[in-house]
A = this chain, B = another copy of it.
Amino acid sequence: MPLKQKDLRIDQDELQELLFGPWADDRRQMRKMMAEPVFHHQFNLTKEDHRELTLNQLKELAARKIIGKAYPKEFGGQENPGGNVAGFAEMFHAHPSMQIKAGVQWGLFGSAILALGNAEQHKKWLPGVLSLELPGVYAMTEIGHGSDVGNIDTTATYIPEDDAFEIHTPFKAAWKEFLGNAALHGKAAVVFAQLITKNVNYGVHAFFVPLRDDDGNFLPGVGGEDDGYKGGLNGIDNGRLHFTHVKIPRTNLLNKLGNVNENGEYTTSIPSSGRRFFTMLGALVQGRVSLATTSANASALALTGAITYGNQRRQFNAASDIEEQVLLDYGLHQRRLIDRLARTYADIFTTNELLVKFHEVFSGDDDTDENRQELETLAAGIKAITTWNALDVYQEAREATGGAGYIASKNRFNALRDDLDIYTTFEGDNNVLLQLVGRRLLGDYSKEFSTPSFKVLTKYVAERAESSLYERSGLRRVVQQVSDVGSERRSAAWLKDTEVQRSLFTDRVRTQIAEVAEVLRPVAKAPQAEQARVFNENQYDLIKAAKSYAQLLQWEAFTTALETIEDRETKKVMTWMRDLFALSTIEQDLGWFIEYGQISQQRAKTLRQYTNRLAARLRPHAQDLVDSFGYNQHHLRMDITSGSEQERQEEAAEYYRRLRASGEAPIPEKVHRARQG
C-alpha cells in the first residue's frame, strides 16, 4: 500500500492548467515578460533611487502596452477585467513596488476615471493615463478616516459664479493620506469629496483635480507631504495631499453617477445615495480581488523556494558515512511546509473562482445588484484570508530556510514579505472586511444562507435552542464516542469523507452566526447605544464566524476544482491535499468542533494522527506540487533554488571520500583513547 502511494505520479500539465485558471494565457503572457531583468526589483536602494527605478519600470510597462487589458477597445484595451487581474497578479514576483504602483495608476486612478467619468472625460484623460503621460493619484483615504470612506471630510463645493467646484480640506484630519504617486510623480488626482451645492451635501463623489505643473511643482492651493520611508513598497512615492480652496472646472466632476448643472442643480440616475456610494467604490473591489490573487501567487512563490531547499538541504555530516536526511524528511518540516502548500492550493482555487465572479460583474456579463453585492462579500472575505495566509507562509518559509532565508538580496523572502505586509490593511482593513462579511451573514441568517456561486450553506440551520440542549446534555458526544472506541480506521474514513468535511465547515459557520444572531435578537429593538454595546461584546465572535466562512469558501473551491481533474493519480494526490487542507484547518480550531459536539474526542485524536500521516504521504509529491506552479529560475531568483546547496554537498562528500581513501583521515578522540586503552 505505501509503495503504491509513492509510485503515484502527478500530471503536472493538467494540474498547471487547473492552477492557472480561466485566464491562463493572460497569466503566461505576463509571467514570461516578467522574467526580463528590466522589471526586477533591486536591493539596498534608498527610497529615492527605488522610486526612480519603479517609475522607469512603469514607463516600460506602458511602452509594452501590456497594462490596459481592462480598458475599452477604443483605448487599445480588451475589455477583459478578469485577464487583466490575472496578469497583474503575475507582476508580484518581478517587483512588488512596480506592481502596486501600476495598480495605483491603471487599477485605481485610471479605473476610477473609466468607471465614474463620461465619454468626453474618457477621451480627454484616458490616453494619458495609459501612456503614463498623466501619472495620477487615487485620493480617497484621509488621515482621520481609514476605512470609513462615507464620512470623509474633504469638500467639493459648487460655486455658481465661477462655474467651478472648490476642493477643500478644512483641517489636517481631512488631508488625503497614504496615496501612491502623491509625494512625487502624480500630475493629477481623482479626489473623493463630499459634493455640496446649494448648501446640500450629496455625499461622496469623485473629481479630477490637477496637482502639479510640468516642472513637478504643486499648483496653487495644493500641498502635501512625503509619507517617508515605509515598511515596504518603497518604490512607491506615497504621500499626503491637502487642498485649500482649489478651484476646478465644473466639468471635472466625474459625473456618471451624479451631475451638477451650471445652475448648481444636482441630478442623478441613482436616487439612493447608498447605491451611488457603493458604485463609487468599485475600484476598491477590483483592488481587493487583485490583492487576493496576488497573495495566492506570492504564497506559491515562497513555498516553491522553501520546499525546493527543503528537498536539498541537509544538516550534512559529510565526514560520516551516513547520509543525513534532507530537511523535508523531518515530520515537523512536513507539517510546516506541506500544510501551507495545501492551503496555498486552496487559496489559488478560491481566488480563481473569485476572479470569475469579478469578471462577470466588471465585464457587464452579469452586473446585477445581487451579483455585485455577492462579489463584494466574497472579495472581502477572501482578500482577508489570503493576505494573512501569504504573510504566514513568508514567515514560515523564511524560518524554514534559516539564515539563508534572511538574506533578502539572495532569497527575497523578507523583502517580499515587507511588501505584502500592507496588504492586510489596505483596500480595507482585514478585520473591518471580515466584520462586513459577518454582518452580511447575519443579514442572510434570517432568510437562510444562500451564496449560489460557491454552492454552500444551502441547508437550513437546525433550530439553535434544540441543538444546544442536545449538546448540553452530552448525549450526542457520548453516542459518537462510544461507537468510536477502538475504530481508528472508521474515524479516519469518516474524516476524509467529502460530505463530512462539508458539513463540518458548513455547520461551524451556521452555528457561529446563529449564536451571534441569538445574542443580538433580544436587543434588536433596544436603544442604539445598547445595541452597539452588545454587538461590540460579540464582535470577536462575529469575526471568527466570518473567518470560518472564508475557510468554507476555500474548502468548496478546492473540492470543486478536485471534481474537474481527469488524471486518476493526480486526482488521488490532490484529494489528499484537499483532505490535508481540511483537516489541518479543522485541527487549528479543534476546540470548537469538540466543544460543539461536531467531533468526538476519539475522532479528534485520529484527526491529529491522520493529519501527520497525510503530510508524510504527500511528502514525496511536494516537489512536483510546487513545480506545477510553473516558476523557473528567472521568476524565483533565489540562491536556495539554484542548486548551489547540492553542489556544496557534493564537493564536501568528494573531499571526505578522498580523505578516507588516502588513509590519512584523523582519528576521532574517542577511538584514539579506546586504542590507548
Contact A477 B201 (CB under 8 A): no
Contact A201 B666 (CB under 8 A): yes
A223 within 8 A of B: no
Q: A612 to chain B: which residues have CB within 8 Å?
A: 537, 540-541
Q: A537 to chain B: which residues have CB within 8 Å?
A: 331, 612, 616
The 3 lowest CB-CB distance pairs between A and B, nearest first, are A231-B414, A590-B591, A229-B409
A63 within 8 A of B: no
Q: A417 to chain B: which residues have CB within 8 Å?
A: 231
17 A-B contact pairs sorted by A residue (CB < 8 Å): A46-B46, A151-B319, A153-B318, A172-B652, A201-B668, A202-B669, A229-B408, A231-B405, A231-B415, A331-B537, A331-B538, A399-B431, A402-B429, A418-B418, A540-B612, A541-B608, A590-B595
Contact A391 B395 (CB under 8 A): yes
A633 within 8 A of B: no
Whose C-beta in chain B lies nearest to the C-beta of A431?
B332
A627 within 8 A of B: no
Contact B408 A421 (CB under 8 A): no
Copies in the complex: 2
Q: How far is the CA of A318 from the CA of B229 in the complex (A)?
A: 30
Which residues of chain A from 408 to 424 have a CB within 8 Å of any chain B CB?
A: 408-410, 413-415, 417-418, 421-422, 424
Q: A465 to chain B: which residues have CB within 8 Å?
A: none
Q: How far is the CA of A652 from the CA of B335 in the complex (A)?
A: 51
Which single member of B151, B330, B398, B414 contacts A536 (CB below 8 Å)? B330
Stretch at the interface among A124-132, A137-145, A282-290, A569-577: A137-145
A278 within 8 A of B: no
Q: Number of A interface residues at 8 Å Cβ cutoff, please give it.
A: 118
Contact B332 A201 (CB under 8 A): no
Instruction: For residue A230, give the distance in angstroms from its CB to the closest CB of chain B.
Output: 6
A85 within 8 A of B: no
Interface centre among A473, A648, A664 (most CB of B within 10 A): A648
Contact A403 B426 (CB under 8 A): yes
A273 within 8 A of B: yes
Given contacts A153-B318, A228-B43, A670-B273, contact A425 B408 (CB under 8 A): no
Contact A652 B173 (CB under 8 A): yes
Binary contact track A88-132/B, C-beta < 8 Å → 1, others 0: 000000000000000000000000000000000000000000000
Q: How far is the CA of A652 from the CA of B228 in the complex (A)?
A: 24
A315 within 8 A of B: yes
Instruction: For residue A110, give the distance in angstroms from its CB to the closest CB of chain B.
Output: 22
Since A201-B668, A273-B669, A331-B537 are in contact, a sample of 14 more A-B pairs with Cβ atoms closer than 8 Å, ordered by chain A residue number, is A143-B648, A144-B649, A148-B315, A153-B319, A196-B666, A199-B667, A201-B667, A399-B424, A403-B425, A406-B421, A406-B425, A591-B604, A596-B601, A597-B601
A227 within 8 A of B: yes
Which single member of B200, B591, B605 contacts A666 (CB below 8 Å)? B200
Q: A421 to chain B: which residues have CB within 8 Å?
A: 395, 398, 406, 414
Binary contact track A556-578/B, C-beta < 8 Å → 1, others 0: 00000000000000000000000
A317 within 8 A of B: yes
Q: How far is the CA of A44 from the CA of B226 in the complex (A)?
A: 13
Instruction: For residue A640, give the distance in angstroms from its CB to the closest CB of chain B.
Output: 12
A22 within 8 A of B: no
Which residues of chain A from 592 to 635 have a CB within 8 Å of any chain B CB?
A: 592-597, 601-602, 604-605, 608, 612, 616
A447 within 8 A of B: no
Contact A474 B477 (CB under 8 A): yes
Q: Chain A binding site: helix, strand, loop or mixed by DSSP?
A: helix
A651 within 8 A of B: yes
A303 within 8 A of B: no
Contact A316 B669 (CB under 8 A): no
Contact A230 B474 (CB under 8 A): no
Whose C-beta in chain B lies nearest to the C-beta of A472?
B485
Q: How far is the CA of A173 from the CA of B146 in the complex (A)?
A: 50
Binary contact track A446-474/B, C-beta < 8 Å → 1, others 0: 00000000000000000000000001111
Whose C-beta in chain B lies nearest to the C-beta of A422?
B406
Q: A402 to chain B: which residues have CB within 8 Å?
A: 146, 425, 429
Whose C-beta in chain B lies nearest to the C-beta of A145?
B315
Q: A543 to chain B: which residues have CB within 8 Å?
A: 332
Q: How far is the CA of A398 from the CA of B234 in the complex (A)?
A: 17
Instruction: For residue A668, give the distance in angstroms from its CB to the closest CB of chain B.
Output: 5
Q: How far is the CA of A462 from the CA of B655 in the complex (A)?
A: 53
Whose C-beta in chain B lies nearest to the C-beta of A538?
B331
Whose C-beta in chain B lies nearest to the C-beta of A232?
B414
Contact B540 A332 (CB under 8 A): yes
Contact B391 A666 (CB under 8 A): no
Which single member of B151, B407, B422, B667 contacts A227 (CB below 8 Å)? B407
Whose C-beta in chain B lies nearest to the C-beta of A157?
B666
Contact B426 A173 (CB under 8 A): no
Q: How far is the CA of A143 from the CA of B320 in the complex (A)?
A: 17
Q: How far is the CA of A649 from the CA of B430 in the complex (A)?
A: 24
Q: A177 to chain B: which residues have CB within 8 Å?
A: 403
